Amino acid sequence: MEEIKRLLLEEKAALLTEIREKTGNNKKINSDIGDAIDSSVEEQERELDLLLQDREQSRLKGIENALQRVDSDDFGYCEECGEDISIKRLLAVPLTRMCINCQSNEERSRLAQNAFSRADNFSQVLSDE
């Protein structure tokens, strides 16, 4: 588990550095008055930066949660079935909370639910016409 903890701490440090750099760059406001296209492009860039920051913050929370589970000896057990998660899987995906079987079952279930929702929406559109 020490190897996984080290990987988590390294990723946490890298994410924090990246977040700090982006926050510093966002504070630099371009004072030049540009045309509408320049303003639109800048606005899109700001929106993308915010979206990426949200993802990074979410990933950071996942890392913090995993580190807490490592410290409390809850790390490495599937949240669905309670079985050990293979060390290979943990090294490849340190934030995983499920064994490969339970993860596969969840993904199949989600795909089936999405397919059902799309089919239901499609039949609703057809009936509205």
CA max distance for the chain: 60
With helix as H, strand as E and coil as C, how does 15-54 read?
Answer: HHHHHHHHHHHHHCCCCCCCCHHHHHHHHHHHHHHHHHHH
| Cα–Cα distance measured from residue 15 to residue 13, given in angstroms and rounded to the nearest whole number | 5
The pLDDT-based confidence of 116 (bands split at 50, 70, 90) is confident
> Considering the domain 2-98 in this protein, what is its CATH number?
1.20.120.910
Q: What are the residue boundaries of the structural domains of the chain, listed by start?
A: 2-98, 99-129
pLDDT digits (tens, 9 = 90+) for 75-84: 999 999 999 9
- Helix count (H) and strand count (E) of the chain? 4, 0
Given its phi and psi angles, is residue 76 left (phi above 0), alpha (psi -120 to 50 degrees) or beta? Answer: left
> What is residue 34's predicted lDDT score, i.e. its pLDDT?
60
The pLDDT-based confidence of 102 (bands split at 50, 70, 90) is very high
pLDDT digits (tens, 9 = 90+) for 8-67: 999 999 989 887 887 766 555 554 556 767 777 888 888 887 788 888 889 999 999 999
